[in-house]
Amino acid sequence: MPVMIPLIPLAAVAAGAITTTYTVAIAREAKRPRRATYAWALAHHSAASPAEVPGVRTWHEGSTVLHTMGHTPAAHHTPAAHSTSPAHATPPSARSMVLPWWLVEGQGAGTMLVIHGWGRSRWDSLRRLPWLLEHAASIVLPDLRGHGEAPGTTSIGHSDHLDLDQVIQRADNASASGATNGGLTIVGHSMGAMVAARLAALLAARGTPARRLVLMAPYDSLIVPMANRLRVRGLPAGPFAATAAWWLARGEEPLHRALARVQCPVLALGGGLDAVTTPDDVRRAAAPHETLIEPGIDHANVGVEGTASREALHAFLLRT
């Protein structure tokens, strides 16, 4: 008599393998997003350098070498052809991570740090620059780890604030505007909003709080954009996204708790058509701070389009 293979246990093993593979794939994609570089800017008909942004007069390109093993980070400043600032070159070592950035001279006071979202880069930050130029003397647009031209894989916002704490110090040294006299404004989009809040909390704990904080399309925890992005693509989220998010973000502080430690005015902007960080997600994450949701704006264009958003941002930056 032939031996029958039990079908139920076999099906359970197959289902478990599929579930595990799918969950790992979600986590892997989160850690290794597609790169948004010069080619991305050209393909999206976006500015390929600060020189192509209306209103930009002077800008520099540089990078910060983040040394490990207790080494002191240094700035590698490479002036563009039109720049007259001296170069201070520190060759990267085998134990270093190099984060590139642009420094744009604006028409206001103080320093502004503009942090891009997941899967984007400093090229995407250029799209938000026209709204910000008149509100800072020096505007720094970095690539986060695993994005743009920065090496490595992304921490998905977990430790980027520690990198940017070093970047902003070195970029200030490269600025000829004396920008630090007007304080630091931190602007972040999506994942960059989480990074911005964590950096602001770090600075507040150190006794050097930021001047103000602008959150564009923020979310409270990683599960929010991870699950929503899957749904937008017509893929199942359910326990798969929850497991991947727990794995990648275990022990992380949610946005609302970081904001409780921030000692500066906060403005949150959202879009009515945003399916990645929905209006409810934005309000929940930013409460009780000032929040504006503008109809007709999707996730990618928060802080880029919208008359009401621009007016609210302008008014906030003027009064704070």
CATH number at residue 197: 3.40.50.1820
**Confidence at residue 297, expressed as pLDDT on a 0 to 100 scale:** 98
Measured distance CA(32)–CA(153) in Å, rounded: 6
Mean pLDDT, residues 93-108:
85
Residues 6+ apart with CB under 8 A from 197: 188, 213, 215, 218, 255, 258, 259, 262
Q: Is 1 part of any domain? A: no
Q: What is the pLDDT of residue 252?
A: 87
State mean pLDDT over 46-60: 96
- Tell me, yes or no, whether 71 lies in a domain: yes
Question: Nearest to residue 132, comparing CAs of 69, 217, 54?
Answer: 54
User: What is the extent of the structural domain holding 13?
Assistant: 7-319
Structure confidence at residue 126 (pLDDT): 98
Q: Is the pLDDT of residue 70 over 70?
A: no
pLDDT-derived band at 13, boundaries 50, 70, 90: low
pLDDT of residue 176 exceeding 80, the answer is: no
Q: How confident is the model at residue 11 (pLDDT cuts 50, 70, 90)?
A: low
208 located within any domain = yes
Q: Is residue 2 part of a domain?
A: no
Instruction: Check whether 125 has a pLDDT greater than 50.
Output: yes
In a 13 Å sphere around the CA of 87, the CA atoms on its Cβ side amount to 12
Q: Contact at 8 Å (CB) between 182 and 137?
A: yes
For β-strands 96-105 and 59-67, DSSP reports them as antiparallel
pLDDT of residue 72: 40
Residues 239-296: tens digit of each pLDDT: 999 999 998 988 889 999 999 999 999 999 999 999 999 999 999 999 999 999 999 9
**Closest C-alpha to 118, from 47, 224, 8:** 224
Token readout for 215 is 């959150």
Average pLDDT of the segment spanning 136-155: 96
The contacts of residue 135 (CB under 8 Å, 6+ apart) are: 106, 108, 112, 185, 314, 317, 318
pLDDT bin (cut points 50, 70, 90) of residue 175 is low
Would you say residue 140 lies in a domain? yes
> What is the tally of structural domains in the chain?
1
Predicted TM-score (pTM) of this structure: 0.88
Average pLDDT of the residues in 185-209: 97
Q: What's the DSSP call for residue 131?
A: G
Is 42 among the domain residues? yes
Average pLDDT over residues 198-223: 97
Query: How confident is the model at residue 174, as a pLDDT?
Result: 57
Phi-psi region of 312 (alpha: psi -120 to 50; beta: other; left: phi over 0): alpha
